[in-house]
Amino acid sequence: MSRRLQPDSTERINRQKPLRFTFNGKNYRGYEGDTLASALLANDVHLLGRSFKYHRPRGIVAAGAEEPNSMVQLARGAETEPNIRATQISLFEGLEAASVNVWPNVEYDISAVNGLFAKIFTAGFYNKTFMWPKSFWMKLYEPVIRRAAGWGKAPTTSDPDIYDHMHVHADVMIVGAGPSGLSAALQAGRAGARVILVDEQAELGGSLLGLKREIDGKASGDWIEAAAKELQGIPEVTVLTRSTAFGYYDQNYLCVLEQKTDHLPLAERKGRVRQRVWHVRAKNVILATGAHERPLVFADNDRPGVMLAGAVQTYVNRYGVLPGKRMVLFTNNDGAYEAALDMQAAGAQIAAIIDCREDASGPLVQTATDAGIKILQGHAITGVKGTKRAKAVEVRRIQKGAKVFTSAAQEIDCDLVAMSGGWSPVVHLFSQSQGKLEYIEEKACFVPGSPVQKQIFAGSINASFGLQACLKEGAKAGAEAAKDAGFEGEGSASFKVQEPAEGSIEPFWIVPGGRPIGEGPAKHFVDFQNDSTAADIELATREGFESVEHIKRYTLTGFGTDQGKTSNINALAILSGILDKPIPKVGTTTFRPPYTPVSYGALAGRNLKDWSDPIRLTSIHDWHVEAGAEFENVGQWKRPWYYPKAGEDMQASLNRECRAVRQSVGVLDASTLGKIDIRGKDAAEFLNRIYTNAWSKLGVGRVRYGLMCHEDGMVFDDGTTARLAEDRFLMTTTSGNAAIVLDWLEEYLQTEWPELEVYCTSVTEQWTTVSIAGPKSRELLKKIAPDMDLSNDAFPFMSFQEGDVAGLQARVFRISFTGELSYEINVPWTSGKALWEAVMEAGAEFDITPYGTESMHVLRAEKGFIIVGQETDGTTTPQDLGMDWIVSKKKPDFIGKRSYTREDTAREDRKQLVGLLTENPAEILPEGAQLVFDKEAAVPMPMVGHVTSSYYSATLGRSIALALVKGGHGKQGGTVYAPLKNRTLTAEIVDPVFYDKEGEKLNG
Amino acid sequence: MLNIECPWCGERHETEFHYGGEAHIARPESPEALSDEEWADFLFMRKNSKGLFFERWCHSNGCRRWFNVARNTVTHEIVAVYKMGEKPPSLVKGGKS
Ligand SMILES: [Zn+2]
């Protein structure tokens, strides 16, 4: 059953290298140079899968990226990859592939019964059928659709392969290495420009690989090889094969996916980069992307064995495969006649050429007539016999413009139908680059309009389909692009080409059926991949859709991995016929990236796991690890979360840590707090404008807490700032906000107040901060800082001193986030661990206890101290937080001030910060729980706020919570309810300060 | 993905910058003197131009400087780049095409 032809000089397969592979569990053979599709056709396998909605048998239609049908599941070692086009899979030894979208197998598919219920699968089927109730989606519809629609199995384990990214600049980027692209690359490369030439295929040559041509007296294959060799010898030229330009963005920024190992046997891929994404920024881009052939739209045009004429020609000439023994060609143009001639020359019988034109008479038509081929002009195929493989076609005489046929049918036996509806330039990348398309009537296709970036179009993308024209346009484009980048070379090139005359085309968008479109049962497929038919488009217009973008979404035409490569223009033209509007007036849909699918692995590249984001560690990190700390992420920082001892769960650990701080002394690595050094003669004035409170009178050596708001009056950061000198402050910010605050300061200094002389420098990583807290902290500090006077008078709360601590030059700040006597000792980052160890050693006698961020949160919540981002969410004012005390009434202006009197911010019933005590002290409210005043209220219940922080407090022996509650400041003693999934918790509204309301603990 | 010319560093990839919205919206000298409507206008209302648009960018992963950009919001063409405090260049509406 082999359909492999005798060796021929045009073929590009290596008969010395036979390869074994399996498809759906059966063993087959092919050759190096084959695609999976060509190798299957060589084994007379046409049936590859089932269609998306109707589960109709489907076969190979095309020979490249435009293939809509033949998607397979590919085994990849332990991995599997769904939905790869058989036409784009290079065959390798041991390849294993299977059909997708079939169950139990491709020959007997149970869901094919969908075909019998075809009526309900019409346009908008998903929109109409599965609408209500919503819950049915999750439980019923979606799983059913997913299982039935299939389309391959997603891998279940993480992708084991390696991917990387490359960033490059080019003078000239050329997309497509067909005759136009090659000719452009030669010209630009010879001129000395830095050129990147990319092509999706395994070798250079593009469509020329499938044709028998002569260039400058050489066979086209030899010409391609010579060109490839010359390009390889030019150092500034980079040639990437198996590389698809999938995205074209602003300012000539293109992304290319290079498949580096997908064509190799699995064993040879190990340890190598599988795919590489190239990011190219080019001075000039030459789009030499060629054209895709269009199907003709007739009843049952989706049967296996119905293929594009150019693809048939490619399989014959390039792969040495005869896709059928008896072929019918159906065409609306001269060019496709060559497919019949090539097939005939290869030994196939040409049953007939069905030409829908009345007066086709070009040179190719003449040659076909001379070759004795029966030509039926003014005829069309109106049906295909055979379901898993075309067996015969039904042919009728048709009247131009008729909506239905009236003549009798004749049946012509065949096992292959080649069709050609003309060619559509591959304008996807141009469209992605924001370009608008223009319609060319005489060639019945869209071409790029004016360039929108620095781009040139060459060859078939311009509807210049002849080889001579492609080579010429390519050379001209290459020279122009090089010249624009400053490289003068040969202006033009001439080529002696032997090729048949292009001939003419007459648009023929849809073959009439026995009844008007949309009325009969016949299926004229427009988009094979999405199973949408001409009737669907007709139905969509009948239901009121007219915009091409709406129809695309309603019928799914042009969706999916295919992005309408073969279907878009046919759909558009049929729509134009129905609406009776000229094609250009109907407009085109926008092609979006990616041109062909790109895996997530490739997009992620090396940015995975530990490499997905920088990890920031403090100088004490190793100590925390050794102490067995659990860590949490705070921005990019890893911070100790809690330090469980053997046998302790999290809560036990927190209880111990919190008690230590309240009763003796605890120690916290606070190095991650943002620190910004602010200098300049106007520094105090600057802080006056940035913070809500006053800073001018803060004495040197003193520290003040401040809130920052945005202009809308909402809190966005807080922290303490110390006055180091008359013109110098050290600001601290929350750990996660450090960079944002610095940007904020810079923005105001540079854009609003450039007259202020202030300089901001991030010093977060210059200083390690070790915070000791608890009644014993003064005694501890005394041991390691014997020269410092630590008395309350000499070193009061909210002040700092510089001096010697544990033999290190240190700044010690007496501030407190726990409510206890507390010191934050800052030493240069590199000495951080030495300080920590000294503190631990000196603290041993007090049973010093390291505590993490979770205990810090509990301790500060006991004191009612807010955490920005937890008690605030960008809609919270200082007044909402009960922090009016920190908002200056005297300062004429500061950021946020004007907004406090806006109607909305001045409202009485805003959500305000309160404390909550649950009725049952053992119950801990979930953070984020919604609160209501009336637990009996009808659903949807009126929400009055939510829990912002909630913990078990070992100090108080019960749970505590902070919450934002509507009008909460006036509701002390009131009750709120938290309706949870299976129960409702009751809580009393209380003051947010739960512990040491008088602040007596601050002095130890 | 834009290529933006920082007035201090030269042409750099968009990922080095962050966007700062419409340019030439000065913070009012005396916010207290403004009506609620006027203040809200400053706070919330921005142009949504189709075509030429003056906007601010900050070279946040580079020199950290803020500057102004005149960009065509349809074609994304950057028509001009100029420093903070400088007047916008007079440009044909929509930029050169
Ligand atoms: Zn810069």
Partners of B43 on chain A (C-beta within 8 Å) are 711-712, 899
Residue B93 lies in a domain: no
- CATH class of domain segment(s) A164-291+425-498: alpha beta
Render B17-48 in DSSP notation, one character per residue. Answer: -EEEEES--PPPS-GGGS-HHHHHHHHH----
Pick A893's closest partner by Cβ from B32, B39, B40: B32
To 10 degrees, what angle do helices A548-555 and A568-579 make? 120
Task: Classify A850 as helix, strand or coil.
Answer: strand
How far does residue A754's CA lie from ligand 1's centre (Å)?
A: 17
Pick A251's closest partner by Cβ from B2, B18, B27: B2
A1-160 and A295-421: same fold? no
How far does residue B79's CA lie from ligand 1's centre (Å)?
A: 18
The pair of three-digit structure tokens given for residue A23, joined into one six-digit string: 């498809």
Task: Classify A353 as helix, strand or coil.
Answer: strand
Contact across the interface for B76 and A711, Cβ inside 8 Å? no
User: What domain range includes position B32?
Assistant: 3-83
Q: Does the CB of A893 have a partner CB in chain B at under 8 Å? A: yes
CA-based nearest residue in chain B for residue A451: B97
Would you place residue A120 in the very low, low, confident or very high pLDDT band (cuts 50, 70, 90)? Answer: low
How far does residue A470's CA lie from ligand 1's centre (Å)?
A: 43
The 3-class SS string of A771-810 reads EEECCCHHHHHHHHCCCCCCCCCCCCCCEEEEEEECCEEE
Contact across the interface for A281 and B3, Cβ inside 8 Å? yes
Q: Does the CB of A434 have a partner CB in chain B at under 8 Å? A: yes
Question: How many residues are listed for chain A in this entry?
Answer: 1004
Burial of A768 (0-12, 13-18, 19+ CB in 10 A): buried
pLDDT beyond 50 at A637: yes
How far does residue B84's CA lie from ligand 1's centre (Å)?
A: 13
CA distance A304 to A319: 19
Partners of B27 on chain A (C-beta within 8 Å) are 711, 752
Between 2.60.40.10, 3.30.200.190, 1.10.3720.10, 1.10.10.1100, what CATH number should domain A515-586 receive? 1.10.10.1100
Which residue in A405, A358, A102, A189 sits closest to A197, CA to CA? A189
Amino acid occupying residue A185: A
Burial of A953 (0-12, 13-18, 19+ CB in 10 A): buried
Residue B76 lies in a domain: yes
pLDDT beyond 90 at A555: no
Q: Convert the pLDDT of each residue in A801-834 to its tens digit.
A: 999 999 999 999 999 999 999 999 999 999 999 9
Q: What is the DSSP letter of A230?
A: H
State ipTM: 0.94
| Least confident range of A71-75, A107-111, A259-263 | A107-111
Cβ proximity of A681 and A727 under 8 Å: yes
CA distance B5 to B49: 22
How far does residue B15's CA lie from ligand 1's centre (Å)?
A: 12
Q: Which fold has domain A906-1004?
A: Elongation Factor Tu (Ef-tu); domain 3 (2.40.30)
Residue B32 lies in a domain: yes
Tell me the residues of chain A between 698 and 727 that have a Cβ less than 8 Å away from chain B: 711-712
Average pLDDT for A824-848: 98
How far does residue B87's CA lie from ligand 1's centre (Å)?
A: 20
Burial of A271 (0-12, 13-18, 19+ CB in 10 A): exposed
The pair of three-digit structure tokens given for residue A591, joined into one six-digit string: 């092609």
Cβ proximity of A538 and A571 under 8 Å: no
| Least confident range of A53-62, A173-182, A634-643 | A53-62
The percent of residues above 70 in pLDDT, for chain A, comes to 95
Which pLDDT value is given to residue A243? 98
> What is the Cα Rg of chain B in Å?
15
Partnered with residue A424 across adjacent β-strands are A292
Contact across the interface for B43 and A253, Cβ inside 8 Å? no
Average pLDDT for A344-364: 96
Those residues with Cβ within 8 angstroms of residue A530's Cβ, 6 or more apart along the chain or in another chain: A52, A53, A555, A556, A557, A558, A559, A560, A562, A567
Which pLDDT value is given to residue B94? 43
- What A378-381 contacts at long range (C-beta under 8 Å, 24+ apart), as own/partner pairs, is A379/A354, A379/A355, A380/A298, A380/A330, A380/A354, A380/A356, A380/A405, A380/A508, A380/A511, A380/A512, A381/A296, A381/A298, A381/A301, A381/A328, A381/A330, A381/A354, A381/A417, A381/A419, A381/A511
CA distance A659 to A651: 12
Contact across the interface for A898 and B34, Cβ inside 8 Å? yes
Average pLDDT score over chain A: 93
**Other Cβ atoms within 10 Å of A943 Cβ, number:** 14
Cβ proximity of A251 and A140 under 8 Å: no
**Other Cβ atoms within 10 Å of A395 Cβ, number:** 22
The pair of three-digit structure tokens given for residue A844, joined into one six-digit string: 């041993």
The pair of three-digit structure tokens given for residue A198, joined into one six-digit string: 């990319």
Residue B88 lies in a domain: no
Average pLDDT score over chain B: 91
Tell me the residues of chain A between 261 and 320 that have a Cβ less than 8 Å away from chain B: 281
Distance of CA A30 to the CA centre of its chain: 36
Pick B56's closest partner by Cβ from A751, A892, A901: A751
CATH number at residue B42: 3.30.2270.10
pLDDT beyond 90 at A713: yes
What phi and psi, each to the nearest 5 degrees, are found at residue A784? -100, -10
The pair of three-digit structure tokens given for residue A788, joined into one six-digit string: 């410092």
pLDDT beyond 80 at A58: yes
Partners of B31 on chain A (C-beta within 8 Å) are 893, 897-898
Which pLDDT value is given to residue A519? 81
Distance from CA of A221 to the nearest CA of B (A): 38
Q: Convert the pLDDT of each residue in A26-54 to its tens digit.
A: 999 999 999 999 999 999 999 998 887 78
Cβ proximity of A339 and A420 under 8 Å: yes
What phi and psi, each to the nearest 5 degrees, are found at residue A810? -135, 155
Pick A452's closest partner by Cβ from B36, B65, B75: B75
CA distance A983 to B61: 50
pLDDT beyond 80 at A490: no
What CATH number was assigned to the domain covering residues A674-765? Answer: 3.30.70.1400
CA-based nearest residue in chain A for residue B56: A751
Q: In which residue are the tokens 């042009």 written?
A: A558
Which pLDDT value is given to residue A101? 67
Render A750-765 in DSSP notation, one character per residue. Answer: III-TTS--EEEE-GG
The percent of residues above 90 in pLDDT, for chain A, comes to 82
Name the superfamily (CATH) of residues A295-421.
FAD/NAD(P)-binding domain (3.50.50.60)
How far does residue B58's CA lie from ligand 1's centre (Å)?
A: 8
Average pLDDT for B79-87: 93
Q: In which residue are the tokens 């141009």 written?
A: A430
How far does residue B72's CA lie from ligand 1's centre (Å)?
A: 21
Would you place residue A129 in the very low, low, confident or very high pLDDT band (cuts 50, 70, 90)? Answer: low
Q: What is the DSSP letter of A766?
A: G
Residue B89 lies in a domain: no
Which residue in A587, A553, A253, A596 sits closest to A437, CA to CA? A587
Number of domains within chain B: 1
Partners of A452 on chain B (C-beta within 8 Å) are 75
CA distances from residue A117 to A125, A256, A494, A593 in whole angstroms, order as listed: 12, 42, 59, 34
Task: Give Dmax over CA atoms of chain A in angstroms.
Answer: 115
Which pLDDT value is given to residue A845? 97
CA distance A471 to A466: 9
The pair of three-digit structure tokens given for residue A835, joined into one six-digit string: 């300080």
Best A285, A750, A897 residue to mutate vs chain B (most B CBs within 10 Å):
A750
Render A55-79 in DSSP notation, one character per residue. Answer: --EEE---SSTT--S-EEEEEETTE
What are the residue boundaries of the structural domains of chain A, listed by start?
Answer: 1-160, 164-291+425-498, 295-421, 515-586, 621-671+766-859, 674-765, 906-1004
CA distance A569 to A294: 8
How far does residue B23's CA lie from ligand 1's centre (Å)?
A: 18
Average pLDDT for A53-62: 90
Residue B91 lies in a domain: no
Interface of B with A (CB under 8 A): 1-3, 13, 18, 20, 26-27, 30-32, 34, 36, 39-40, 42-43, 56, 58, 60, 64-66, 75-76, 84-85
pLDDT beyond 90 at B95: no
Contact across the interface for A893 and B3, Cβ inside 8 Å? no
Those residues with Cβ within 8 angstroms of residue A443's Cβ, 6 or more apart along the chain or in another chain: A422, A423, A463, A465, A505
Those residues with Cβ within 8 angstroms of residue A975's Cβ, 6 or more apart along the chain or in another chain: A933, A986, A987, A988, A989
Contact across the interface for B43 and A281, Cβ inside 8 Å? no
Which residue in A949, A929, A952 sits closest to A650, CA to CA? A952
Best A165, A168, A251, A761 residue to mutate vs chain B (most B CBs within 10 Å):
A251
CA distance A681 to A133: 66
pLDDT beyond 80 at A449: yes
What phi and psi, each to the nearest 5 degrees, are found at residue A447? -125, 165
Which pLDDT value is given to residue A609? 87
Q: Is CATH 3.40.50.720 what the domain over A621-671+766-859 is classified as, yes or no?
A: no
Which pLDDT value is given to residue A506? 93
How far does residue A20's CA lie from ligand 1's centre (Å)?
A: 57
Distance from CA of A169 to the nearest CA of B (A): 12
pLDDT beyond 50 at A642: yes
